[in-house]
């Protein structure tokens, strides 16, 4: 296979057109990805601020810095902002949008207008959510459970419509990615020669297309329930509140995999690149993504063990829940096997990848406790659950996102991120995260219920440790952002291939030209790193052939 020539020379996408309008009307997937990166990062900081307020309030039992009503709103907003505005769009819509077409060597995603529409739909949905905060912030929890959500007088309708709209943004991204991967792969790239990031984005997109519409109809019914007194979910009108939970979790459990699958894809890329070794068990990792996507649809009832669901349903859901552990474990073992015997290069992205594996394993294994029917009856709605899903979502997705940002930042903006700050940030987030959430496993197993404003005196020590950890985590995230943002001003100019990776995005210049590639290149083997060698002059990798 002849390697495509490194494509340099014409104006990059950042300089291709000037002015704010050239960004707002752009159909370029790279610019849309950058815009997504900005808005999801702002959402992360906003959701993080709510989280710190929640943790600060829990520093002492009873009122510390706010009243109980405010506290209920803070944890609800933390959840809603983090889930709907940040985690779901973060990796697919920001990094995925940027990287996916270049990894395929095409000029754009299949439907560029739909891509831009999805961004503006996101903005519209975010406006609804912000407006609901301004009007009277919701305190239902991010899950909008009825009957409380159908009765209380806060701006639940506005928030629900906001999430309804955000859902379509997610669906359109999914449609775009599936069509692009299916129809626009370069010559020589079969499904089983794709970079693993594409497999995980493909699986994610399938979930986005198949699960999100159910969330849309659920929230539409909830809004109609509130505005027109529909009665389908409201027991006061003869409706069935447990049906709402079935509807909600039919989306929201698969949505957990929308959150973590793209992260797994990023980690597969990072582990292989920085172990300088072919990924171990390629097809197992690829198939496990699809298996997770499919099995994720069959286990939603494990969120409802204590909500009055029938015994039959609970037993079936509990049994099915264990099956999800198999593909997840396959991934972890394959990553470990890839590292074994590799020449591990501890760059900032690799540090994030390692902390992903550590934290995701803890998060995944504690999920098994919760999937066990009788254990869950004790642990349900305690801090154990809170710790479990933060280990998966923050320990998983956030670490993968930061790893991905540090990995692709040179490609996106053409500047090397600050390595020292990156390492410091990886260390601080890892320590801060564990200090925050490990005590919560202990709190939960001792019976501390989640979402409570106050607690018994014996829980105070662990709560205080957790709060301190949250602030360390917050500092770590800020340092992480500073490391990349400051590089825009004084960062070293990035070479085309700083990491010696071999997927197609490293074959075009940093930042890539407006149309990525003039002609679609032939596929490369994304996990064959032998063709590159370190070049001292550019401080990046160059093709061996071009030296000769």
Partner 1 sequence: MAYRENEAEAHDEEHHEHHIMSPKVLIGTWLGLMVLTGLTVGAIKVDFGAQANLIVAMAIAGAKAMLVCLIFMHLWFDQKYNVMIFFGSVIFVVLFISITFIDTKRNEPFRDAYDATNKPTPEGRVLVEPTVSPISTSGSDAAAQPGELKVPEHQKPKVPWPSQLPDTPRVAPTAH
Partner 2 sequence: MSEAAIDADAAHEDDDHGHHDEPFLGHHFKDHDHQFNTGKLGIWLFLGQELLFFGGLFCAYAIYRGMHPEIFVEGHHFLDVNLGAINTCVLLFSSLTAAWSVRMAQLGNKKGLMLMIALTIACAFGFLGIKYIEYSHKFHEGILWGQLFAPSPEAMEHAMHGVEANSRLHIFFSIYFVMTGLHGIHVIGGIIAYAWLLKRAAAGHFGPNYYGPVDFIALYWHLVDLVWIFLFPLLYLIH
Residue ranges binding partner 1 (CB under 8 A): 67-69, 136, 151-154, 182-183, 185, 187-192, 210, 214, 226-227, 229, 235-238, 240, 242-243, 246, 250, 290, 297-298, 301, 308-310, 312-313, 316
3-state helix, strand, coil in the chain (%, to 5): 70, 5, 25
Question: What is the pairing mode between strands 540-543 and 532-535?
Answer: antiparallel
Residues 236-275 that bind partner 2 (CB under 8 A): 237-240, 243, 246-247
Using the rule CB under 8 A, is 297 a contact of partner 2? no
The binding track of 208-237 with respect to partner 2, each residue x by CB under 8 A or -, is -xxxxxx-xxx-xx--xx--xxxxx-x--x
Cα separations in angstroms, 193 against 95, 122, 283, 524, 528? 20, 32, 10, 8, 11
Smallest gap from residue 104 Cβ to partner 2 (A): 10
Smallest gap from residue 28 Cβ to partner 2 (A): 9
**Which one, 309 or 361, has the nearer CB to partner 1?**
309
**Which one, 116 or 286, has the nearer CB to partner 1?**
286
The Cα 292–Cα 303 span in angstroms is 17
User: Residue 27 binds what, of partner 2, partner 1, none (CB under 5 to 8 Å, by partner type)?
Assistant: partner 2
User: Residue 108 binds what, of partner 2, partner 1, none (CB under 5 to 8 Å, by partner type)?
Assistant: partner 2
**Which one, 224 or 475, has the nearer CB to partner 2?**
224
Cα separations in angstroms, 469 against 344, 356, 386, 441? 29, 18, 15, 14
Using the rule CB under 8 A, is 175 a contact of partner 2? yes
**Cis peptide bond upstream of 511, omega within 30:** yes
User: Residue 67 binds what, of partner 2, partner 1, none (CB under 5 to 8 Å, by partner type)?
Assistant: partner 1
**Which one, 239 or 498, has the nearer CB to partner 2?**
239
The neighbour count for residue 71, using CB atoms within 10 Å, is 22
Contact 55, 78 (CB under 8 A): no
The neighbour count for residue 308, using CB atoms within 10 Å, is 10
From 57-65, 171-179, 325-333, 447-455, span contacting partner 2 (CB under 8 A): 171-179
Smallest gap from residue 352 Cβ to partner 1 (A): 32
Q: HSE-up of 122 (CA within 13 Å, CB side)?
A: 30
Cα separations in angstroms, 320 against 304, 315, 323, 426, 500? 14, 9, 5, 35, 41
- Which string of DSSP letters, residue by residue, matches 256-305? HHHHHHHHHHHHHHHHHHHHTSPPTTHHHHHHHHHHHHHHGGG-GGGG-T
Tokens 């869950």 belong to: 376
Binding partner 2 (rule: CB under 8 A), the pick from 42, 69, 182, 518 is 182
Smallest gap from residue 1 Cβ to partner 2 (A): 21
**Which one, 318 or 425, has the nearer CB to partner 1?**
318
The Cα 230–Cα 239 span in angstroms is 9
User: Residue 59 binds what, of partner 2, partner 1, none (CB under 5 to 8 Å, by partner type)?
Assistant: none
Using the rule CB under 8 A, is 161 a contact of partner 2? no
**Backbone phi, psi, residue 540, to 5°:** -150, -175
> What DSSP element (H or E) covers 535?
strand 532-535
Contact 209, 174 (CB under 8 A): yes
**Which one, 62 or 238, has the nearer CB to partner 2?**
238
**Which one, 189 or 379, has the nearer CB to partner 1?**
189
- Give 65: exposed, middle or buried? Use CB within 10 Å, 0-12, 13-18, 19+: exposed
The binding track of 487-526 with respect to partner 2, each residue x by CB under 8 A or -, is ----------------------------x-----------
The neighbour count for residue 132, using CB atoms within 10 Å, is 23
Smallest gap from residue 318 Cβ to partner 1 (A): 13
**Which one, 234 or 347, has the nearer CB to partner 2?**
234
Positions touching partner 2 (CB under 8 A) are 27, 106-108, 110-114, 117, 168, 171-172, 174-176, 178-179, 182-184, 209-214, 216-218, 220-221, 224-225, 228-232, 234, 237-240, 243, 246-247, 515
């Amino acid at each position: 296979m002849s390697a495509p020539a490194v494509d340099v020379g014409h104006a990059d996408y950042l300089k291709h057109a000037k002015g704010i309008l050239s960004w707002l009307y752009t159909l370029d997937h790279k610019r849309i990805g950058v815009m997504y990166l900005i808005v999801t990062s702002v959402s992360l900081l906003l959701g993080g601020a709510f989280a710190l307020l929640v943790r600060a309030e829990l520093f002492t039992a009873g009122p510390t810095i706010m009243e109980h009503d405010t506290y209920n709103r803070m944890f609800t907003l933390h959840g809603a902002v983090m889930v709907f505005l940040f985690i779901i769009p973060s990796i697919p819509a920001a990094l995925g949008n940027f990287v996916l077409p270049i990894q395929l060597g095409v000029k754009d995603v299949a439907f560029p207008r739909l891509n831009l529409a999805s961004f503006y739909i996101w903005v519209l949905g975010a406006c609804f959510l912000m407006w609901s905060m301004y009007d009277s912030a919701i305190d239902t929890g991010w899950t909008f459970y009825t009957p409380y959500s159908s009765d209380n007088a806060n701006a639940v309708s506005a928030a629900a419509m906001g999430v309804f709209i955000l859902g379509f943004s997610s669906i359109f991204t999914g449609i775009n990615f599936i069509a692009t991967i299916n129809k626009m792969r370069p010559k020589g790239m079969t499904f089983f020669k794709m970079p693993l990031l594409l497999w995980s984005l493909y699986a994610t997109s399938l979930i986005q297309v198949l699960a999100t519409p159910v969330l849309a109809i659920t929230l539409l019914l909830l809004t109609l329930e509130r505005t027109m007194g529909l009665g389908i979910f409201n027991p006061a009108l003869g409706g069935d509140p447990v049906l709402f939970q079935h509807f909600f979790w039919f989306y929201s459990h698969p949505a957990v995999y929308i959150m973590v699958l793209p992260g797994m894809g990023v980690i597969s890329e990072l582990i292989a690149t920085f172990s300088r070794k072919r990924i171990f068990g390629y097809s197992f990792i690829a198939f496990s993504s699809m298996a997770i996507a499919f099995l994720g649809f069959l286990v939603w009832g494990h969120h409802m063990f204590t909500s009055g669901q029938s015994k039959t349903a609970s037993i079936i859901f509990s049994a099915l829940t264990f099956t999800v552990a198999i593909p997840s474990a396959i991934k972890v073992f394959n990553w470990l096997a890839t590292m074994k015997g590799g020449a591990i290069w501890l760059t900032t992205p690799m540090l994030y990848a390692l902390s992903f594996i550590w934290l995701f394993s803890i998060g995944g294994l504690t999920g098994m406790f919760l999937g066990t029917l009788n254990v869950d009856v004790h642990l349900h709605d305690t801090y154990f659950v809170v710790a479990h899903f933060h280990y998966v979502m923050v320990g998983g997705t956030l670490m993968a996102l930061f790893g991905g940002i540090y990995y692709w930042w040179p490609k996106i903006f053409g500047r090397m991120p600050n390595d020292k700050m990156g390492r410091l940030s990886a260390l601080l987030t890892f320590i801060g995260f564990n200090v925050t959430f490990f005590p919560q496993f202990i709190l939960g197993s001792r019976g501390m219920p989640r979402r409570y404003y106050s607690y018994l005196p014996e829980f105070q020590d662990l709560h205080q440790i957790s709060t301190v950890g949250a602030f360390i985590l917050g500092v770590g995230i800020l340092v992480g952002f500073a490391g990349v943002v400051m590089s825009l001003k004084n960062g070293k100019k990035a070479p085309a291939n700083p990491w010696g990776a071999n997927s197609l995005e490293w074959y075009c210049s940093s930042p890539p030209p407006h149309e990525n590639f003039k002609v679609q290149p032939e596929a490369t083997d994304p996990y064959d790193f032998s063709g590159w060698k370190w070049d001292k002059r550019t401080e990046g990798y160059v093709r061996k052939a071009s030296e000769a």
